[in-house]
Amino acid sequence: MRYPKVFYVFSANRSRIYQRKRRLKNPMATSKGSFTVEDMKNVQINIGAVIKEEEEWDQPMGPYPKPNVATLRDWDFKICNRYKIMYSPADDTCTLCTYGPCDLTGDKKGACGINMAAACGKIVLVAVLMGTCAHTAHGRHLYHWCLDKFGDMKFDMGSEILVNAPLTRTILGTKPKTLKDFGEALEYCEEQIVQLLAATHTGQEGYYMDFESKSLHGGMIDSLGKEICDMLQIVAYDMPRGAADAPLVEIGMGTLDQNKAVLIAYGHNLAAGAEAMIYTENNNLWEKVDIGGVCCTAIDLTRITEAGGQSKVPANLGPKAKVAGAMGWWRKMVRAGIMDAVIVDEQCVFCDVLEDCQQRHIPVIASNDKIMLGLPDRTNDSADAIVEDLVSFKMPGVAILDPVKAGEVAIRTAVAVKPKRAQFKKESVFDEQQFKDTLAKCTQCNQCAFVCPPHIRISEMIAEAIKGNLEPFSTTYEICVGCQRCEQTCPQDIPILKLYEYANREYVKNQKFKMRAGRGPVLDTEIRRVGAPLVLGQIPGVIALVGCSNYPNGTKECYDIAKEFVDRGYIVVATGCMAMDMSLYKDADGKTIWEQYGGAFDGRNICNIGSCVANAHIHGAAIKVATIFAHRNERANYDDIADYIMSKVGACGVAWGAYSQKAASIATGVNRLGIPVVVQPSSIIYRRTFMGRTDKPEDWMVIDARDGKMQQIEPAPEAMLYIAETKEEAMLEMAKLCFRPSDNTQGRSIKLTHYCDISMKYFGKLPDDWHLFVRDVKDLPLTFQQQMMKELEEKHGWKIDWKAKKFISGPLRPADVSFDPTNLPRKIRAKK
């Protein structure tokens, strides 16, 4: 049935009414301004606004527009029943209310009645909501800022992106036409966040699985918050809209010209950093100033006005900014003395940024009310007065909540303070004698090693340095995550990061690389090109390397993982800190990974999608495979789309440096959409994972949508959230998590080839479980075919017709190219 082209805004009740309507199969909205509700009495409905829906969308409204907290609970429980919720408590106690501390170890309960599983679920939900709030609040800030600065603008993603806000369409069932239209989506996100957070109060939700359903809902809201955020800035700042050939921009501490004043813009929200760039451009100051970004602000600054469209911002501004580095490099950067002023905005900013900068006479401008650092709010003061106070070091920093003024003050301060802080800059780093004297203080007590996240043996490095060997300081420089815990615990007060700086001074100077600027969404045309090979398995999968820089063994692993999969013909996409960190390496020809491969969404290509919020486009690409390639209606149809993706789109995310709660919300959001994620071993601190049991055939039953019959499938994908101990294990698991029941024999053979080949390369043997994924002789990798058939017969008892090269018995199911797996009974195609 085609849904009426008129709908009504009933504030909070609207989506519930929609859902009720679907259950009754009796549309209540019949014409503009009047309607009936058959089974509701004494109900008053106030119509806030009547909005004429656009005419051109030929999709009927799906079953779940604006789903509420419990709307998609059935889908969540399907996920959780197959992928068992596994908790690894970081704390055996609960201290959230005055009854506590309560010991929950084992089967104990807290005074409120909560058990360990539910207590973990509650913390997971809180963590997911932290991430969701960060992205959504970022979107809310940009919404107001962009409308204030630019006015309302047409939401136009160009002629090659017609499915232009896939998450908004799938979750809300609406198509935004202007930036202002995203206000409705933001209001929806904010309401859901409030409802979810309320459930974490003592005496509210008490069942772990419902906590996880709520977390999955929070993750989905996070994905929508990210989409809103990135769509707003793409349009407002005319960023690339799916440009495979987005420009190469400079990255690395060495790219910042020390003959100029250097301003660092640090955080995630481009508003103030962009104003600094605009001020520099309008005042012809690029000869005097270099602007570098840290963390995702860096990526977004380098995307500004690269699309060549209409904009109120100077054209092609992005490449004039540089990427100083990912978040993990921040403290190393400060100690390297590469900056003269800092402007911080929001998210991922180290809490002691002011202290670090103050010690080195680097003025700090806080430009967003989420991070004010105890600084005086000088928003209403004149720029001249603020610059004077900062340049004369009367105050170490200021808060300026007007991005335009913050940008101007930051540039003027950087230029004016540079000569004044030259002496301080010199004094803030070690000379040779100071370096040696400091090394001599070490007593080899090893207290530092007890707190170092990647377990660097700092005392041993110092012992080597005393002998004149600085190599351990160099080889571990990229492994150090810059947390500074070693310095805090050192009884001798040795500033270990300053030792690192001294030992790596030349490296810092020469840290000069290229990174492809964030390209934004995947084009509809790209989806049309890769849809079939991806669903059939001939492109072995999409590998998404996502954000954050708390790596277990250094930044190089980003490059290694990306290169492994792009070389194998996977579609590799990257965002945030992982995109930045993988840029810091070159091949034998001196090319970074971005120069080695194309930037299209295609096999053997690697795309820099963009910043943290641009992760939404990875969700979006998966949705677009379902809607553009498979013609599924995405409109308000979340579980159907997620079901399609889980069964048919071979994709796997990896957050190898996952550190923040945003990483938790991002992973939870893609999990709800049916995409598995691999994370680094320290991610255990997030407490919750989703793991399948391959020994339980009943967990792997799906419906064949052709006739409604139940069919056992191979465990594909085997897990939804998997923690790997090493990069080698991560890569093997990622290859495995790209298997899907829909793979045809050629596709399965390609995927098995990579799975087995990675195992041979890094494990020295075939994996123990390869046979689980074999349905037909043609599924077997040619390289191993004979060996595998023999093993199937001898070890696993399969019966084989060797002459015909066929399995007589053994596989879980035969390969069947028209098999249509689904987890949703409503997808059964009814026979007439």
Partner 1 sequence: MAAEAKPKGVDTTKNPIPFEMAQIPGPEMAKTYMPKVIGAIIKKSKRPLLVVGAELFDDPVMFDKMIEIGKMGVPIAATAHSVKGFVERGYLNNVYQIGLHPLTNNLRFSDWMGLDGQGQYDTVIFMGIFYKFANGMLSTLKNFNRDIRRISIDRYYHVNANMTFGNMAFTPDDYHAAIDELIAAMKK
If the CB atoms of residues 231 and 737 are measured against partner 1, the closer one turns out to be 737
Site for partner 1 in 97-156 (CB under 8 A): 103-107, 116-117
Which of residues 116 and 321 has its CB atom nearest to partner 1 in the complex? 116
Residue from 38, 287, 493, 695 in contact with partner 1 (CB under 8 A): 695
Say which amino acid occupies 31: S
- Residue 39: how many CB atoms within 10 A of its CB? 8
Q: Which of residues 359 and 553 has its CB atom nearest to partner 1 in the complex?
A: 553
Which range in 430-438, 447-455, 697-705, 792-800 contacts partner 1 by CB under 8 A? 447-455
Nearer to partner 1 by Cβ, of 568 and 688: the residue is 688
Nearer to partner 1, 129 or 719 (CB): 719
323 within 8 A of 284, measured Cβ to Cβ: no
Separation in Å, CA 600 to CA 82, 242, 245, 528: 34, 9, 8, 13
Does the protein bind partner 1 through residue 500 (CB under 8 A)?
Answer: no
Contacting partner 1 within 69-98 (CB under 8 A)? 84, 86-93
DSSP 523-590: PHHHHHHHHHHHHHTSS--EEEE------SS-THHHHHHHHHHHHTT-EEEEEHHHHHHGGG---TTS
Cβ 650 to partner 1, closest distance in Å?
A: 20
Does 714 engage in binding with partner 1 (CB under 8 A)? no
Decide whether 106 or 203 has the Cβ nearer to partner 1: 106
Is residue 51 within a helix (H) or strand (E), and if so which, with residue range?
Answer: strand 49-52
Rounded CA-CA distance 3/8 in Å is 13
Q: Residues binding partner 1: what is the number (CB under 8 A)?
A: 50
Rounded least distance, CB 818 to partner 1, Å: 32
Rounded Cα gap, residues 638 and 169, in angstroms: 9
**Interaction of residue 603 with partner 1, rule CB under 8 A:** no
Q: How far apart are CA 501 and CA 496, in angstroms?
A: 9
Binder among 550, 611, 689, 744 for partner 1 (CB under 8 A): 689
C-alpha span between 462 and 458 (Å, rounded): 6
Query: Which residue's CB is nearer to partner 1, number 38 or number 698?
Result: 698
From residue 743, give the alpha-carbon distance in Å to each of 622, 746, 748, 821.
16, 8, 5, 11
- Nearer of residues 407 and 767 to partner 1, judged by Cβ: 767
Q: Are 263 and 340 in contact (CB under 8 A)?
A: yes
Nearer to partner 1, 40 or 685 (CB): 685
| Per CB under 8 A, 691 contacts partner 1 | yes
**58-87: b (≥16 Cβ within 10 Å) or e:** ebebbbbbbbbbebbbebbebbbebbebeb
The rounded distance, in Å, linking the Cα atoms of 648 and 635 is: 19
CB of 98 to partner 1, least distance (A): 18
Which of 50, 450, 528, 701 forms a contact with partner 1 (CB under 8 A)? 450
Question: In this chain, which of 729, 757, 791, 816 binds partner 1, going by CB under 8 A?
Answer: 729
Residue with Cβ nearer partner 1 (423 or 446): 446
| All residues at 6 or more sequence positions from 675 whose CB lies less than 8 Å from its CB, including other chains | 544, 619, 622, 645, 646, 649, 651, 652, 653
DSSP 746-783: HHHHHHHHHHHHHHHHHHSS--TTGGGG--SGGGS-GG
Residue 443 lies near partner 1 (rule: CB under 8 A)? no
Q: Which stretch binds partner 1 (CB under 8 A): 515-523, 538-546, 591-599, 728-736?
A: 728-736
CA R_g for the chain:
27
Q: Is 184 in the site for partner 1 (CB under 8 A)?
A: no
Phi and psi at 407, nearest 5°, equal: -65, -45
* Cβ neighbours for 744, distance < 8 A, ≥ 6 positions apart: 536, 537, 538, 815, 817
DSSP β-ladder status, 289-294 and 261-266: parallel
CB-wise, 596 or 682, nearer to partner 1?
Answer: 682
50 touching partner 1, by CB under 8 A: no
Looking only at residues 652 through 681 of this chain, which bind partner 1 when binding is defined by CB under 8 A? 681
Report the nearest approach of partner 1 to the CB of residue 713 (Å): 18
Verify binding: residue 212, partner 1, rule CB under 8 A.
Answer: no
The helix or strand, by DSSP H or E, that contains position 264, with its residue range, turns out to be strand 261-266
Region binding partner 1 by CB under 8 A among candidate stretches 9-17, 26-34, 285-293, 719-727: 719-727
Chain residues that interact with partner 1, rule: CB under 8 A: 84, 86-93, 103-107, 116-117, 446, 449-451, 453, 455, 489, 552, 681-682, 684-685, 689, 691, 693-695, 718-719, 722-726, 728-729, 732-733, 762-765, 767-768
